[in-house]
Amino acid sequence: RKVLVEDFTGHKCGNCPDAAEALKQLESLYGEKIVAMGVHAGFFAEPNSGGLFTYDFRTTAGTELDQFFGNSNAGLPNGLINRKFYDTNPIVNYADWASKVNEIVNVPADAWITMTPDYNATTRGLSLDVNTKILNGMSDSLHLVVYLTEDSIVRPQADYSLPSPNQYIPEYVHRHVFRGSMNGTWGTPLTVGSSFT
């Protein structure tokens, strides 16, 4: 089983490096079982017109996800774990990510997904062949969505753990940055109200 951890963040969020560190620890513990994605959204992701934070990490799909789930309104940093709801709320504080991941990481997978990419360097076009196999019976409405992330973008990041007045890291390495979707924010519907076996 893979566990998707969506870290809702912003380069002007001074507590967000703590969440990035929590995600790094999960990756160290579980390796490739963790699929990490840093979604820059909301007020703390807005770029400034001048100064340090002029880079715009935001995406249309990331903004749509943030508006749907309400992450930035809940106060960053926080995230989603496999978009699972806990007591009617999918938003999980980063301090609780480890316990929530631990609850599901060893549960047998419901589906197998393989992806075969084809990149054309001349046109800079990317196509992807995706195959799925259902392993456990399911009656959910399923969508297949393919998100793109970019790793190791070096840009400034606010960090409240540093002494005033310079509470920022000028060459912070932003990991797993959400860049967009190949097939829309919510993906391609595979079924609506059908059963899979």
- Whether the predicted pLDDT of 77 surpasses 80: yes
Task: Write down the mean pLDDT value for the chain.
Answer: 94
Residues 6 or more apart whose CB falls under 8 angstroms from that of 12 comprise: 43, 44, 45, 46, 48, 53, 158
What is the distance between the alpha carbons of residues 82 and 84, in angstroms, rounded to a whole number?
5
- Whether the predicted pLDDT of 192 surpasses 60: no
- Whether the predicted pLDDT of 142 surpasses 60: yes
Task: Please state the rounded mean pLDDT for residues 72-101.
Answer: 95
> What's the confidence (pLDDT) of residue 66?
98
Task: Please state the rounded mean pLDDT for residues 148-174.
Answer: 96
- 62-65 long-range contacts, CB within 8 A, separation 24+: 62/178, 64/185, 65/6, 65/39, 65/41, 65/185
> What's the confidence (pLDDT) of residue 196?
72
> What's the confidence (pLDDT) of residue 193?
58
Task: Please state the rounded mean pLDDT for residues 152-167.
Answer: 96
- Please write the tens of the pLDDT for every residue from 30-51: 999 999 999 999 999 999 999 9
- CB of 31 closer than 8 Å to CB of 62: no
- Please write the tens of the pLDDT for every residue from 55-68: 999 999 999 999 99
Task: Please state the rounded mean pLDDT for residues 65-94.
Answer: 95
Task: Please state the rounded mean pLDDT for residues 85-101.
Answer: 95
CA–CA distance from 57 to each of 39, 150, 177 (Å)? Answer: 8, 11, 8
Task: Please state the rounded mean pLDDT for residues 16-22.
Answer: 97
- Whether the predicted pLDDT of 197 surpasses 90: no
- Whether the predicted pLDDT of 147 surpasses 70: yes
Task: Please state the rounded mean pLDDT for residues 149-161.
Answer: 97
pTM: 0.93
